[in-house]
Amino acid sequence: MHASGAAAVSPETFKGVFSRLASGVAVIGFEREGRKHGFTATSLTPVSVEPPMALFCVDNSNESHQHLKLYTPVGISILSKVQSELSSRFAGKAAVERYTGVATIEHTPGIPLLSGAIACMEGTITRLVPAGDHTIFLCQVSWAQAEPEGAPLLYFSRQYHQLASLPQPGAKGPPSRSQQGMTRSLVAVIASAAPSVRTAAAIQYTCRRAGEVAPGLRTDIVNLNEMPLPLCDGRKPTDIVSVTRVVEKIGAASSVLLATPIYRGTYSAALKNLLDWLPLESLEGKRVGLIASGSTPHHYLMIDMALRPLLAWFNAVLIPGSIYLTKDDISHDGPSETTAANLDALAQALVAEAPRWAHRTRGARPRLRPRRTPGRHRRRHTPWSAP
Ligand SMILES: Cc1cc2nc3c(=O)[nH]c(=O)nc-3n(C[C@H](O)[C@H](O)[C@H](O)COP(=O)(O)O)c2cc1C
């Protein structure tokens, strides 16, 4: 023991011990002389629920330490498993503006939050407590929001990790979302660049029915007419706030409903553009329902001939049956009796628990050639073999 009573623990030993404490990763952002600044922190800790307070610790030698004062507003973003590059960027010493090219959300002007974070908070520093070579910053939280789904980035043993989802003992497949106590969610996309009547009415009706069939279901309608996405031009989805929002919503959903008007005999450019932005895995193993609407019945085969092959590439679990609507089937006032029955069936299929076989498709690429069938059942001609 030292004369002070403290055990002789070297900085290496102390840091080594804490390297064994796995933690989530946050970026704390604020405005510094009119410009955004932020840094990576694992020291974020909840302190009080009433009133909501959190703390984080800052090394006294860090640049942020000079700028964080009493009553400085801060934005705290808890990083998702795919944001390790952002964590490194906000911890790096490179002389770049850390926020350059980074998609941010400003819930309150002047308080930067990172797009794609799994949870965000805003608050004000209410107390500074000197603590050795660090300072503890207490922060009163004024606004907070957690995404219902999404996995965290973890920091352990000086490396980034992700949570491994272990199967339940004795379970044949991964636990279902309801077994995990997770809310099921349906994201429905109105893939029309122009204001739509039939497409929107079909989506609204189906979402309402799905909510009735599955109480507690979260439904979210993305209207590409109200939230147009820029043309997919090779930028990363995370570079653009609107794209990030939509991509993340769809990625976090358990089922997806896509509705497109017919333009020039096929699905809309707005839908293709959305699919161009979507990472392949965002629809993988998910139930996806399809609706198309046209001014005439001529293009009723579009779903089967054009849309299903396109979505098969995403390894989505496509709900059988095509719903093709004309003005006789649905209007502002709602669907006809037959259409209502078809949309009801679609709503039920969208929220049903995923069948076991659906899990097996996860991670596998689509098989382009069928297995050879032995003996006399062997197929000679396959209309869908790879080119
Ligand atoms: C995973 C991780 C967690 C970190 N946690 C903290 C922390 O809680 N407090 C802190 O002061 N620095 C922490 N750092 C280091 C700072 O992010 C880093 O020193 C940064 O460059 C400080 O930026 P600034 O000088 O602009 O304030 C962490 C770094 C990493 C990689």
Which is nearest to 227 in space by CA: 266, 192, 275? Answer: 192
DSSP state of 355: P
Q: What local confidence, expressed as pLDDT, does residue 103 receive?
A: 84
Q: 109 C-alpha vs ligand 1 centroid, how far in Å?
A: 24
CA 100 to chain CA mean position, Å: 22
DSSP code per residue over 356-380 = HHHHHTTTPPPP-SPPPPPGGG--S
* 185-353 has the same fold as 21-162: no
Q: 311 C-alpha vs ligand 1 centroid, how far in Å?
A: 42
Q: How confident is the model over 303-340, as pLDDT tens digits?
A: 999 999 999 889 888 998 789 999 999 988 889 999 99
Q: What local confidence, expressed as pLDDT, does residue 106 receive?
A: 79
Q: Is the CB of 63 under 6 A from ligand 1?
A: yes
Instruction: Decide which of 3.40.50.360, 3.80.30.20, 3.20.20.60, 3.30.360.10 is the CATH code for 185-353.
Output: 3.40.50.360
- Residue 38 CA: which ligand 1 atom is closest? 26
Q: What local confidence, expressed as pLDDT, does residue 347 receive?
A: 93
Q: Is the CB of 91 under 6 A from ligand 1?
A: yes
pTM higher than 0.85: no
Q: What local confidence, expressed as pLDDT, does residue 68 receive?
A: 96
Q: How many CA atoms lie within 13 A of 210 on its CB side?
A: 30
Q: 112 C-alpha vs ligand 1 centroid, how far in Å?
A: 17
Q: 73 C-alpha vs ligand 1 centroid, how far in Å?
A: 18
Contact between 185 and 351 (Cβ < 8 Å): no
Q: 68 C-alpha vs ligand 1 centroid, how far in Å?
A: 14
Domain covering 21-162, topology: Pnp Oxidase; Chain A (2.30.110)
The residue whose CA has the least distance to atom 6 of ligand 1 is 41
CA dist., res. 76 & res. 324, Å (int): 45
Q: What local confidence, expressed as pLDDT, does residue 72 receive?
A: 97
Q: Which residues of the chain have pLDDT under 70?
A: 1-7, 94-96, 165-183, 353-387
Q: Where are the domains of the chain?
A: 21-162, 185-353
Distances (CA, A) of 88 to 92, 367, 379: 6, 37, 53
Paired strand residues for 46: 54
Q: What local confidence, expressed as pLDDT, does residue 166 receive?
A: 37
Q: How confident is the model over 136-154, as pLDDT tens digits?
A: 999 999 999 998 778 999 9
